[in-house]
A and B are shown apart, each in its own frame.
Chain A
């Protein structure tokens, strides 16, 4: 639906009678786990949180096209090439579904695009790690897309309708991504010694960054509580990370590979997966722009935008001409 204008913030700090009524209606909808739709009244903080989260998610899909797009020309067979292209197209699609959802909160597409291109907006830190070998295509599919799915499945029930609907579409398409990654690793693992080593090396490099995709530990994630109270988030960062570690700890056995984590074990008493301490200093550094390829990813995005300018201009000129000839 068309973007709505955000509620004007009231001049006085005391909420008016109408605002109180609106807040009560909003609280009631959240209370019975119903959905908020674009034209409903919503608190400014809810709108702001969602705009940030959904647009960052969209940016991540768009930047996330790069590590894999770089491997399309080097994929080892025509089949693998076609699969990789389909996956990159899906990521573009996911970005577009999410931008549409973000726009319904009142920020237009050009502005969202601008936030990414000027570096004002963030995207998932995982895409600031380079994809060095073909095996990385496998590790990214299995671990990175796997972590993304674990994160995204509960978001299908997010309280904001357009976000939930976009996530349903994304999740349906994403499961092929994880399976194809797993298959790449399995082929390599069953290949020559050198191929198996390449697969293990990729898993070694992506294991920790993938676990960090769920965000900081709960006690260091102050915004999570509010997001859960609003039914945007359904599980905490640590809960989702636990779930994911449990899944890959089993899956890695089928691959005949190991996870680079000597401390990894299931603790029967606490019913928790114990994994090694993650390097959160590195996580913060990458988020702040000091990851291995932050600059390269941003430059590539700006370059693609510049190089596409003539296409956008031509399309706009053609559209304008058609309108003129209709009038004439």
Chain B
């Protein structure tokens, strides 16, 4: 019944104001990059949510493997000395 579009999927990133990073907002389909940016404006910034947009083809994003999550992110475990809160001796000392 409907013709198949097979338009690529794009991920949309919105910078909400100057000085802030672009943050992932969602995704959309569009035939090309220019249309993706325009559609992203219509879809994700109808209420002044952004001052800048990025679109990236979803297939171009490389992500870590969710099945290897535990092993992959194991390294920081048990290394709480990387956080300031680990160091107690300086408690009560001003400006430290």
Which A residues form the contact surface with B (CB < 8 A)? 1-3, 37, 39-41, 86, 89-90, 93, 96-97, 100, 103, 109-110, 113-114, 117-118, 165-166, 169, 173, 302, 305, 309, 312, 315-316, 318-319, 322
- Could you mark each residue 41-79 of chain B with 1 if its beta carbon is under 8 Å from any beta carbon of chain A, else 0? 011001100000000001101010011000000000000
CA A38 to CA B1, docked complex, whole Å: 29
A305 touches B2 (CB 8 A): yes
In the complex with contacts A1-B61, A316-B31, A319-B35, A93-B46 CB distance below 8 A: yes
B66 touches A318 (CB 8 A): no
| B16: interface (CB < 8 Å) | no
30 sample A-B contacts, Cβ–Cβ < 8 Å, listed by A number: A1-B11, A1-B58, A39-B63, A40-B66, A96-B28, A96-B43, A100-B27, A109-B5, A109-B7, A109-B29, A110-B2, A110-B4, A110-B5, A110-B6, A113-B2, A114-B1, A117-B1, A169-B26, A173-B46, A312-B31, A315-B31, A315-B32, A315-B35, A316-B7, A316-B31, A318-B31, A318-B32, A319-B31, A319-B32, A322-B32
Contacts of B32 in A (CB 8 A): 315, 318-319, 322
CA A165 to CA B29, docked complex, whole Å: 18
A93 touches B9 (CB 8 A): no
| B90: interface (CB < 8 Å) | no
Scoring B6, B31, B61, B67 by chain A CB atoms within 10 A of each residue's CB, the highest score goes to B31
Contacts of A40 in B (CB 8 A): 66
Contacts of A86 in B (CB 8 A): 46
Number of A-B residue pairs having CB atoms within 8 Å of each other in the complex: 67
Q: How close is B93's CB to chain A, nearest CB, in angstroms?
A: 38
In the complex with contacts A109-B5, A318-B31, A319-B35, A90-B58 CB distance below 8 A: no
Q: Which of B4, B7, B26, B31 is within 8 Å of A97, CB to CB? A: B26
CA A84 to CA B43, docked complex, whole Å: 17
Q: How close is A323's CB to chain B, nearest CB, in angstroms?
A: 8
A2 touches B58 (CB 8 A): yes
Q: Which of B3, B31, B46 is within 8 Å of A309, CB to CB? A: B3
When C-beta atoms are compared, the residue in chain A nearest to B29 turns out to be A109
Contacts of B9 in A (CB 8 A): 2-3, 103
Q: How close is A325's CB to chain B, nearest CB, in angstroms?
A: 12
B31 touches A39 (CB 8 A): no
When C-beta atoms are compared, the residue in chain A nearest to B32 turns out to be A319
CA A109 to CA B58, docked complex, whole Å: 14
Q: How close is B16's CB to chain A, nearest CB, in angstroms?
A: 14
Contacts of A2 in B (CB 8 A): 9, 58-59, 61
CA A2 to CA B26, docked complex, whole Å: 11
